A and B are shown apart, each in its own frame.
Chain A
Amino acid sequence: DGGITQSPKYLFRKEGQNVTLSCEQNLNHDAMYWYRQDPGQGLRLIYYSQIVNDFQKGDIAEGYSVSREKKESFPLTVTSAQKNPTAFYLCASIQGYTEAFFGQGTRLTVV
């Protein structure tokens, strides 16, 4: 079945550690997005990519990095520069001016 897969479901990060969240899609969509979700704040855009080997900062890109080496994959790295990384992270893909399809999310917790 076509879809978008995020892994892991739960992730724990120690202070000062970088962690990478995986996002893979087999929908053949050109565009992929990363959002952060905090309680009561809706979805905030971190980074997005409209084509392979290109990506743009969203509204809250500081402390995060991404790569888009393949159409199917858009991993997000939460760096040690992100001082408040505990949140629910959502990846989405879109083809053209249609609806976004979301993964099941990764809950990141700092320990």
Chain B
Amino acid sequence: GQQLNQSPQSMFIQEGEDVSMNCTSSSIFNTWLWYKQEPGEGPVLLIALYKAGELTSNGRLTAQFGITRKDSFLNISASIPSDVGIYFCAGRQQGGSEKLVFGKGMKLTVNP
């Protein structure tokens, strides 16, 4: 099955730094979702994007739906220790079913 290309795979940063991650696909998507997963828990939705070019913020998080409809990025500003976890992108192909495809995740470590 198709998976999205998510990068980087992991990041180690100092508290207060900004973080940027992205997801790309070879096909056009009409939905991009960003999730955060903490150890031993299910993923929790951070931001949902449904329109090309859409830029949405949720507190210190900002995500954009790429204008080509083949990519999306997520930024975290002024990171704090509780930002640690695995961040997943997920998307839905244009003309496809309601099934989502997922990236492999980015593991974020924040050093206090």
Contact = CB atoms under 8 A, between A and B. Distances in A.
Nearest to B48: A99
Nearest to A40: B104
A101 B98 contact: no
Contacts of B30: 97
Interface string B31-73: 1010100001111110010000000000000000000000000
Interface in B87-104: 88, 90, 92, 97-100, 102-104
A45 B97 CA distance: 14
A97 B104 CA distance: 21
Contacts of B40: 88, 105, 107
Contacts of A101: 45
Nearest to A31: B98
Nearest to B99: A48
A105 B33 contact: no
Given A101-B45, A103-B42, A105-B40, A42 B31 contact: no
B43 A45 contact: no
Contacts of B48: 98-99
A59 B1 contact: yes
Contact of B1 (A44, A92, A102): A44
Nearest to A35: B102
B7 to A, nearest CB: 13
B28 to A, nearest CB: 14
B103 A45 contact: no
B3 interface: yes
A97 B88 contact: no
Given A59-B1, A97-B92, A97-B98, A42 B104 contact: yes
Contacts of A59: 1
Interface of B: 1, 3, 6, 9, 30-31, 33, 35, 40-45, 48, 88, 90, 92, 97-100, 102-105
The 4 closest A-B pairs by CB, nearest first: A102-B42, A59-B1, A42-B104, A43-B102
Interface of A: 6, 31, 33, 40-45, 48, 50, 58-59, 88, 90, 92, 94, 96-105, 107
